[in-house]
Amino acid sequence: MTRRATPAAPTGGGGPVRVLVVDDSAMMREVLRQGLSRDPGIEVVGLAASAAQAAEMLSDRAVDVMTLDIEMPQLDGLSFLRQLMAGPRLPVVVVSSATQSGAAITLEAMEAGAVDIIGKPCLSVGTGLGAILPELCDRVRAAAGARVARGGAARGPLAAAMAPRPVRPAAPGPRPPAAVPQILGIGASTGGVQALFEVLAHLTVPVPPVVVVQHMPEGFTAAFARRLDAALPFEVAEAQDGEPLLPNRVLIAPGGSRHMRVEGRAPHWRVALVEGAPVSFSRPSVDVLFASLAERAGGLAGAALLTGMGSDGARGLAAIRRAGGMTIAQDEASSVVWGMPGAAVDLGAACQVLPLDRIARALAGDPASPPPRPARPAAVEGQTDEG
């Protein structure tokens, strides 16, 4: 994944973000120390080679964010994270390799309370740091302002729902056709693993075609799709180029070097994975996906922009609103980071601003959903993307 976002403000009254780096590899600890220390808004306050050493450091120094390796000897990173989340809240950014086992364990860590993922760089000390420095520092700075939920020591919502669920019948009674989207788009970033599951788990079968951009490093989205597929009463898969969009099927954009677009016309939509420079500092970009939904589905589309840093998706959501589609932004209180949905609200792109637990019902056009909160008209026609 290639991504760069507007950095979050440091915590501590304007002081630097204090970071503890935890990794059993001396080389990786030094790579992360060098990369983070080049940002004047970040101070590396400790390097720990094990969970035990990290726990000792946490007891005697102030730490705003911890970066955590998952695959470590003795007490592994996931077990340590679960213990940590039983106590005072601390934002944790997982630094993990994208091996099959590494990706699966990393997703468990996200369910347990970690706020973000950074792909582990395969670098030598002093080489290539410029390539990862912006994303590394931005993620850590954003994590410093993240809301960390308690109770992460228990099994997360995905792990608790791994047993297949029974297919839920459609809600009885007719609905106004114009109020029911025929295709759904969802965008998320920091904090999105649990948020996305919350929304998908409360969609009522039959579900219209769903396309998703969740910012993740390359190699993690396939494992994420498999976990969702096992937990939900409809199919979830990593998108393939040219794949048709079908009811009761969710396609997640692969992390990496391509954007995902919707092509075709209703009801024969399909996905296209296309090369291109980052848009809104992201690739794949929510803005690219949402803009294609506005173009190809117009008023038939419904879209939700969930928790995440930066502003990716705000302009695309505005395009869907202008085209007559339903647009929703997650509210600040329920967001881990109110960057992307907050940018959409500022832009007037959201028809409704809702807490996470109400978004699925609103996307389904449920008449029992609470009335929309006022949002400014999306008067952004003609604006260009600077990302």
Residues annotated as catalytic are 189, 215, 312
Phi/psi of residue 371, each to 5°?
-60, 150
* CA-angle at 224, arms to 227 and 162, nearest 5°: 15
Distance from C-alpha of 213 to C-alpha of 311, rounded to nearest angstrom: 14
Distance from C-alpha of 78 to C-alpha of 39, rounded to nearest angstrom: 28
DSSP string of 283-326, one letter each residue: ES-HHHHHHHHHHHTGGGEEEEE-SBSS-TTHHHHHHHHHTT-E
Angle, helices 221-231/100-112, rounded to nearest 10 degrees = 60
Distance from C-alpha of 363 to C-alpha of 263, rounded to nearest angstrom: 21
Distance from C-alpha of 1 to C-alpha of 217, rounded to nearest angstrom: 5
Q: What pairing do the DSSP bridges indicate for beta strands 183-188 and 301-305?
A: parallel
Distance from C-alpha of 365 to C-alpha of 378, rounded to nearest angstrom: 21
Q: State how far Cα 155 lies from the chain centre.
A: 19
The pair of structure tokens assigned to 382 is 């003609």
Comparing C-alpha atoms, which of 201, 171, 212, 164 is closest to residue 308? 212
Distance from C-alpha of 26 to C-alpha of 23, rounded to nearest angstrom: 7
Distance from C-alpha of 324 to C-alpha of 121, rounded to nearest angstrom: 43
Name the H helices within the chain.
Answer: 26-37, 51-60, 77-84, 100-112, 129-144, 157-160, 192-201, 221-231, 286-296, 314-322, 340-347, 356-363
The pair of structure tokens assigned to 173 is 């009674």
Comparing C-alpha atoms, which of 360, 348, 305, 308 is closest to residue 328? 305
